[in-house]
Amino acid sequence: MIAGKLISKTIVPLRTSDTGHEALAVMNDFYIRHLPIVNNKQLLGLISEDDILNNIVEEPVGSYHLTINKPYVKESDHVFEVMRLVGEYQLSVIPVVDVENNYIGLITQDRLIQYFAKSASFTETGSIIVLEMGRQDYSLTEITRLVESENAVVLSSFVVTNPDSTRVEVSLKVNRQEIRDILATLERFNYTIKGSYQETNYYDDLRERFDSLMSYLNI
């Protein structure tokens, strides 16, 4: 998936003549904390809610000093690059430009989350396995081979690194509810298992908690 496929054109960008008060009204309407400022098709920057509140709201946003650099993605950038910049700058929206650097729209944080939530790796039932290992020991090819040796499939993987550590944490989504044989195989090959979560048990537990809450409220 590329950035151009996730663009929302519902939210109109700000002009330099728009006031801080007008910008806050748009942010409030769409539940966002950032808006791009565009002059014709040129992206001038991204204004945050804090930028507005630190200035005079009756003044035009073109006179404000923006605290965020000008983050944006190309329409051909992969969704992973969108995620990286949204996370790095803690953005609620990110502008998208075309090959000529003209502004063509923005991607909201909600749209991004919805895309991942609807992807096959999230919607298909299965289980989660969390492994910990040294950076030098990480091989997705080897881990996938071991999972597949137990007639299962790795639907997705997510790696968390820490710059202050030589260890990495690898989260796997597999397409099986019963994973004892997979865990045993991974342990046999000296992988450290930090945790495992069967989705059926997880949702059953949530249902029990919900039912208990409803019973309490009905008393």
Please state, in angstroms and as integers, the Cα–Cα distance from residue 164 to each residue in 160, 168, 172, following that order: 12, 11, 23
pLDDT, tens digit, 9 for 90 and up, residues 45-69: 999 999 999 999 999 999 998 888 8
End-to-end CA distance of the chain: 49
Say yes or no to pLDDT of 121 above 90: no
* Average pLDDT of span 120-149: 88
Q: Residue ranges per domain, the chain?
A: 3-116, 121-205
121-205 maps to which CATH number?
Answer: 3.30.70.260
* Average pLDDT of span 185-205: 80
Do residues 101 and 8 make contact, with C-beta atoms less than 8 angstroms apart? no
Say yes or no to pLDDT of 42 above 60: yes
Burial class (CB in 10 A: 0-12, 13-18, 19+), 127: buried
d(CA 32, CA 13): 12
* Average pLDDT of span 191-197: 91
Do residues 77 and 3 make contact, with C-beta atoms less than 8 angstroms apart? yes
DSSP 96: E
CATH homologous superfamily, domain 3-116? CBS-domain (3.10.580.10)
